[in-house]
Amino acid sequence: MTEDTRSIEVVDNAGDQRYDLLVDGELAGTIVYRDPRNGVRQLVHTEVRPELSGQGLAAVLAGAALDDVRSKGWKVVPTCPYVASYVQKHTEYEDLVVPR
């Protein structure tokens, strides 16, 4: 197995209400969100460029978005099916989810 030497970064692009996943400085994916109301951020949609799918990048993006929400002391509503599934698989984030 070869080591992944790409630069991978997730940034909060607050002006566009999304988290941007950058691979080697290029936009590779996003999670669109709605600004928090009462300390709750809604994660609406996750997308990774098709040619990069299957490389675990959506998981990197989801984890970073959830870590950012936690660092702000907020909760989350994962309306995006991918993020909801990610939380189910990564139970350390369950405490962030607002019960429906």
The CA-atom distances, in angstroms, between 11 and each of 39, 53, 81 are 19, 19, 21
pLDDT at 100: 73
pLDDT at 76: 97
Q: Is residue 2 in some structural domain?
A: no
**How many domains does the chain fold into?**
1
SS3 label, residue 3: coil
Q: Is residue 25 in some structural domain?
A: yes
pLDDT at 44: 97
Structural domain boundaries enclosing 59: 8-96
DSSP H helical segments within 13-80, as ranges?
Answer: 57-71
**pLDDT of 3 strictly over 90:** no
Q: Is residue 1 in some structural domain?
A: no
Q: Is residue 64 in some structural domain?
A: yes
Give yes or no for a contact between 48 and 29, defined as CB atoms under 8 angstroms apart: yes
CATH of the domain at 87: 3.40.630.30
The CA-atom distances, in angstroms, between 88 and each of 3, 13, 23, 37, 53 are 28, 26, 26, 23, 20
Q: Which residue has the higher pLDDT, 36 or 34?
A: 34
DSSP 53: T
pLDDT at 99: 84
pLDDT at 1: 56
DSSP 74: -
Q: What value does the mean pLDDT take over residues 5-33?
A: 96
Lowest pLDDT segment from 4-8, 12-16, 18-22, 77-81: 4-8
Report the chain's mean pLDDT, rounded to a whole number: 94
Lowest pLDDT segment from 1-15, 17-31, 43-57: 1-15
